[in-house]
A = this chain, B = another copy of it.
Amino acid sequence: MADPDAPRRRSDVTRTAILEAARQRFAADGYERATVRAIAQDAGIDPSMVMRYYGSKEGLFAAVIDVELILPDLNALPVDDVGAVLVGHFLDLWESDSVLQTLLRVGATNEAGAARMRDVFAGQILPLAERFVVTRKDAARRAALVASQVLGMALVRYVLKFAPAADMPRADVVAWLGPTVQRYLTAKAP
C-alpha cells in the first residue's frame, strides 16, 4: 500500500526545500534583500532551479504567501472570552509560523504583500466581527480596529523588537490586549 505522503515527483523534496528557505529569507529580510541566490544556497541547489519550479522570484514569493491561514473557530466560545482567546491565538500564530512575519515585513513596501495581508484579515477577522454586529460596514470597521491592535503588537514585539513588548510574557499581553479587542468587537459604537 502506497504511502500517501510519499512525494509524487522526485523533485518534491527540492521544491519544498526551496519554499522553506524562501519562507525564512523573506521573513527575515523582506522581499528585496532576500535574493534568489541566497535562497538557493540555503536550499542547497542552483538558483536556476528556483526559476524552473517557480518561474520567477515573484512566483516564488506568491507561493510562499499562498498558504491557508486558519484561525480556530471561535463561534462556540462564550462571548466574553472572544477577545482574550483571539489575542492568544494570534500570538501562537506569530510564533509558530513565519508567514505572518513575512507578510508584515513585505507588506510594508510591497503591494502584493499588502494585498495578501488585506485578504488574510478579510477572511479571518471580518467574519468574526460579523458575529457581533448587524451591518457589514460596522463589522468591517471593528475588524480593522482589531487588526490595528493585533498587528501593532506584532510589529513592536516581533519586528521592531521594542524590548518592553518583546519581553512581556504571553499572559500579560493577553491580559492587556484581550479587553481592547473585546471592546472593539462588542462595545457600542462611540
Which A residues lie at the B interface, using CB under 8 A? 29-30, 32-33, 104-105, 107-109, 114, 117-118, 121, 137, 140-141, 143-145, 147-153, 155-157, 159-165, 168, 172, 175-177, 179-180, 183-184, 190
Contacts and interface: CB of A to CB of B under 8 A. Distances in A.
A161 B108 CA distance: 10
A114 B159 contact: yes
17 contacts: A29-B109, A30-B32, A32-B33, A105-B108, A107-B159, A109-B109, A117-B160, A118-B162, A140-B163, A144-B168, A145-B176, A145-B177, A147-B152, A148-B152, A149-B180, A151-B156, A152-B152
Copies in the complex: 2
Contacts of A153: 148, 152
